[in-house]
A and B are shown apart, each in its own frame.
Chain A
Amino acid sequence: MSTILSIKDLRKSYADGFEALKGVTLDIEEGEILALLGPNGAGKTTMISTICGITMPTSGQVTVGGHDILNDYRAARRMIGLVPQEIALEPFEKVINTVRLSRGLFGLGRDDARIEDILRKLSLWDKRRNAVKELSGGMKRRVLIAKALAHEPRILFLDEPTAGVDVELRKDMWEIVRELKANGVTIILTTHYIEEAEAIADRVGVINSGELLLVEDKDSLMAQMGKKHIEVMLAEPVDAIPEVLRHYDLTLNGAGESFVYSYDIHGERTGITSLLNDVAKAGLVLRDVQTRQSSLEEIFVNLVSGEQA
């Protein structure tokens, strides 16, 4: 894989002095899905806006397919499609015409077959002659995606694609993203929803207060930083954790029918064997055992709160 988007020490300060990006450096590989996670105001949208040309960078360099976004902006922008966070569409225009406009803006001639293909894939073909205002919120979001794809971009930015979208539509959106990836499109999406990143991303970047805290392969991130939890369910409930088990820092659940032991899967010893031996010594009888891995959400919360501390 080769680098398709390269960001070097990107900074953005606004006129009021607010520093929205504090030197972000990031390389994005062709064909990957990168999820940018971060709380509100972290700089996710500013980063996308700066790469796409909506805001001007204060300093730093961004190249798209080797083309500088300032000096060679036409070639750079031709490679990029942007789906903005807010639904911004001309309400009175027909769906197909707004998509045609997008293709034209990127310097491409009319191609009805291509537009039909995009609209069909996004289940918008039947609505093509409807005015945008007649569509539901979810359909409007699809129109935004259709517009972003009209010029066949190599990189697609999805800024909070599933904000305010119901669960079913969110799953549809993920399917669309996976299909795009299968067609070789590189995807960068920002999201609040950790489960979204967990479900579809190859790599995860965490951004907070204008700084990129980390970018990791999603699986290795979870493996590296994740804690595992083992829940031990007892045949007979207990009132308190027995003395012999105190040093394991267990959490007793509910009415004492189970307890949870947390361990670092990368620690030298997980402590599971000795725990289970000590459970037997304490005379407790097991009904069931279950393990659970930390979600990205926990990792994310730990990172961001660590940053703020």
Chain B
Amino acid sequence: MNWAAVVAIYRFEMARFFRTLAQSFFSPVLSTSLYFIVFGTAIGSRIETIEGVSYGAFIVPGLVMLSVVTLSISNASFGIYFPKFLGTIYELLSAPINFLEVVIGYVGAAATKALFVGLVILATATFFVDIRIEHPFAMAAFLILTCLSFSLLGFIVGIWASNFEQMSLIPQLVITPLIFLGGTFYSITMLPPIWQTITLFNPVVYLVSGFRWSFYGLADVPIFFSLLAIAAFTGICLAIIWWIFKTGWRIRS
């Protein structure tokens, strides 16, 4: 393994993040505050508690997931798409590194950034609602795995995309609807039975449910299925990346 290269890519990518640290920090703080003002206070005050948890506190895990998932995808996809767009990818291709090292560098940096923002959101939320974390290790594991798996997906999107429009296609058309319909702002038990069944086909349900369980011990689906879902999703992303590595798809002609 060429670890020096992995570290070099990671540091270079993180430097981009630190250049815009203020914006990386304040924009999630602002958007989380807005969510709490609108959903938590204005609408939430009219919603009863959900299984003993106030609505404001109930939506915190979903809000964290919403940001972490979208940021992981955008960080990783831009991370690898930018060198393609600028032409600087020549350097990655001509360096003594393999695809795995490139993936670890880019995905590691993208996941770190998303994790940072997730923690900022969590910290911001404590100013608005009381949060308890019943299973802190499970919470950390879910958060880190989500950052990593969706950064892997973002990396695939970045390799696949051949223009900026395509870059936003998957996040906007697929991920955002799945997140909003994945129990981020509600418990799926609040839905009519038929929709509860349909919702079970949405993989994000398992993520949000598992993550929320680590906070309040409340889950829409058994925790085992949540773990299985995120493991399967990570596995699928890794398999696709392995295939890209073998074939050089969209990278090496």
Contacts and interface: CB of A to CB of B under 8 A. Distances in A.
Given A56-B248, A90-B86, A97-B15, A77 B4 contact: no
A102 B91 contact: yes
Contacts of B86: 88-91
A109 B12 CA distance: 14
Task: Bin chain B's interface residue count.
Answer: 20 to 34
Contacts of B122: none
A89 B97 CA distance: 19
Nearest to B93: A54
Contact of A105 (B5, B19, B248): B5
Interface residues of A, number: 35
Interface in A92-117: 92-93, 97, 100-109
A9 interface: no
B253 A88 contact: no
Given A56-B253, A104-B4, A84 B90 contact: yes
A53 interface: yes
Query: Which of A14, A88, A100, A103 has most B Cβ within 10 Å?
Result: A88
A90 B94 contact: no
A90 B5 contact: no
SS of B interface (majority): helix
Contact of A78 (B82, B92, B96): B96
B109 to A, nearest CB: 12
Contacts of A104: 4-5, 7-9, 11-12
A74 interface: yes
B190 interface: no
A93 B12 contact: yes
A80 B94 contact: yes
A101 B12 contact: yes
A52 interface: yes
Contacts of B2: 74, 107
Among B2, B11, B96, chain A packs the most CB atoms within 10 A around the CB of B96
B198 interface: no
B105 to A, nearest CB: 9
A118 to B, nearest CB: 16
Interface in B217-253: 248, 252-253
Interface of B: 2, 4-5, 7-9, 11-12, 15-16, 19, 82-83, 86-88, 90-97, 248, 252-253
Given A86-B87, A101-B12, A104-B4, 17 more contacts: A54-B90, A54-B94, A74-B96, A82-B94, A88-B86, A89-B88, A90-B82, A90-B86, A91-B86, A93-B15, A104-B5, A105-B9, A105-B95, A106-B4, A107-B5, A107-B96, A108-B4
